[in-house]
Amino acid sequence: MRFVHIADMHFDTSFTTLTNKAGLGDIRRLDQRKAFNKVIEYIKANNIPYLFIAGDFYEHEYIRLSTIEYINNLFKEIPQTQIFISPGNHDPYLKDSFYSKFYWNDNVHIFDSKLSIIELEDVDIYGYGFDDFYYTNHDLENIELKNKNKINILIAHGTLNASTTIEKEYNPISEKMLEEKGFDYVALGHIHKIDYNSKQQQRIVYPGSTISLGFDELGSHGMIVGNLDKDKIELEFIPVDDKEFVVKEIDVTDMRDIDELATAINNIEFSESIYYKISLIGRRNFDIDLYKLNKFIVNKNIIKTKDYTKINYDLEKISRENTLKGLFVKEILQKMAENPEDEEILQNALDIGFEILEV
């Protein structure tokens, strides 16, 4: 059987954590529509019979009726494709949600919080979804596959092998338990980083977020396309997001002023298909005013700058001072000379010490 698997589209999210750059959130919301249209066009062109959407398809707080209508109209364009949606923590199946009150196309199947099975001719589809913004009460441990001779699919939104208290609030699922149950494919959502090729014949898969939501989601984003039978699985990742987010580091150690820094940034060749975050690193010899620096930057695809630099102290000079700071630096320099392998640790100790002594 052939299928497409996506998750974590987050339609109509506000993108407030992405940047303060005016209009970019609106652009990325249009990018969401463009990316999803690519998914539908691929399904049409390749006659894909199944589409799995593993949660956080939209943002309950922000989703608009017009967006839901846009999505459903695209679903109508693939009437021969069976669509299965497992609501997540950002789009739970609530009484007032569009999952429960909107009239979806006939080929759309939306799971509620009770683990259920949809039996088709060649495959059994199991699934369940969030009924609140947290979910911990799935009943996977007690389920037995109804027909192990058929292909068995599970669709869910949750955290695989949850270890922290926070992770355990979002549908914690044991990977070992899933393998023991014998599902032929587990279509997961919630983790925005793709995981489909970490081992051979991998059948428990995160497709990652369909488009990147910001600089904590670097690299390509898109969909998983699968070809599955009982003995073999073939998975392919296909990008659908036209933009990527890239962090570029600029070392300021050898620069003398902010003009030199701005010139260095403006002289870099940037790709038009990439949004950039500039991370300033190294030891600075001048004060860095990010507001002023941003006014000097001409490339519109640089949408965020962060200063991670530290002051470039003249340690030899400070060590000759008859002060607490001078004695502290003298002691650290002596330890560096005696233990060069610990230089990085001692440098960090210097930075912490300076912060304390400056207070």
Q: What does the pLDDT look like over 335-345, one tens digit per residue? A: 888 888 888 88
Give the model's confidence band at 231: pLDDT under 50 very low, under 70 low, under 90 confident, else very high. confident
Task: In the chain, list all ranges with CATH 3.60.21.10.
Answer: 2-239
Instruction: Give the mean pLDDT of 38-51.
Output: 98
The β-bridge relationship of strands 123-127 and 116-119 is antiparallel
Which residues, other chains included, contact 79 with Cβ-Cβ below 8 Å and sequence gap of 6+?
Answer: 105, 106, 107
Q: What is the pLDDT of residue 332?
A: 86
pLDDT at residue 223 above 70? yes
Contacts of residues 41-44 at CB distance under 8 Å and 24 or more positions apart, as own/partner, are 42/4, 42/223, 42/225, 42/238, 43/4, 43/78, 43/81, 44/77, 44/78
Q: What is the pLDDT of residue 344?
A: 84
Give the model's confidence band at 233: pLDDT under 50 very low, under 70 low, under 90 confident, else very high. very high
Which residues, other chains included, contact 245 with Cβ-Cβ below 8 Å and sequence gap of 6+?
Answer: 212, 214, 215, 217, 218, 274, 275, 276, 277
pLDDT at residue 61 above 70? yes
pLDDT at residue 69 above 60? yes
Closest among 283, 228, 215 to 252, alpha carbons compared: 283
Question: Coil, strand or helix: which one is 135?
Answer: strand
Give the model's confidence band at 288: pLDDT under 50 very low, under 70 low, under 90 confident, else very high. very high
CA–CA gap between residue 77 and residue 202 (Å, rounded): 31
Report residue 310 as tokens.
């530290």
Dihedral sign from CA coordinates of 352, 355, 356, 358: positive
CA–CA gap between residue 216 and residue 18 (Å, rounded): 9
Highest mean pLDDT among 166-170, 271-275, 309-313: 271-275
Burial (0-12, 13-18, 19+ Cβ within 10 Å), 109: middle
pLDDT at residue 72 above 60? yes
Give, in degrees to the nearest 5, the angle at Cα 252 between 20 and 269: 65
Q: What is the pLDDT of residue 22?
A: 67
Instruction: Tell me if 239 sits within 8 A of 220, measured CB to CB.
Output: yes
CA–CA gap between residue 85 and residue 106 (Å, rounded): 13
Residue type, 188: L
- Of 85-89, 123-127, 213-217, give the lowest mean pLDDT range: 213-217
pLDDT at residue 210 above 90? yes
CB atoms within 10 A of CB 61: 11
How far CA 35 is from CA of 54, 127, 179, 209, in Å, comes to: 16, 25, 32, 11
The β-bridge relationship of strands 222-228 and 2-6 is antiparallel
Q: Which residue has the tokens 């529509």?
A: 33
Question: Coil, strand or helix: which one is 128?
Answer: coil
Q: What is the pLDDT of residue 318?
A: 85
Q: What is the pLDDT of residues 90-100, one digit of tens each?
A: 999 999 999 99
Closest among 170, 176, 216, 214 to 189, alpha carbons compared: 170
Q: What is the pLDDT of residue 20?
A: 62
Question: Coil, strand or helix: which one is 113?
Answer: coil
How far CA 24 is from CA of 36, 161, 254, 278, 279, in Å, comes to: 18, 35, 33, 17, 20
Q: Which residue has the tokens 């991670």?
A: 308
Please provide the average confidence, as pLDDT, over all residues in the chain.
92
Q: What is the pLDDT of residue 15?
A: 85
Question: Coil, strand or helix: which one is 185?
Answer: strand
Instruction: Give the mean pLDDT of 77-93.
Output: 97
CA–CA gap between residue 306 and residue 296 (Å, rounded): 15
Give, in degrees to the nearest 5, the angle at Cα 178 between 175 and 181: 155
- Homologous superfamily of the 2-239 domain (CATH): Metallo-dependent phosphatases (3.60.21.10)
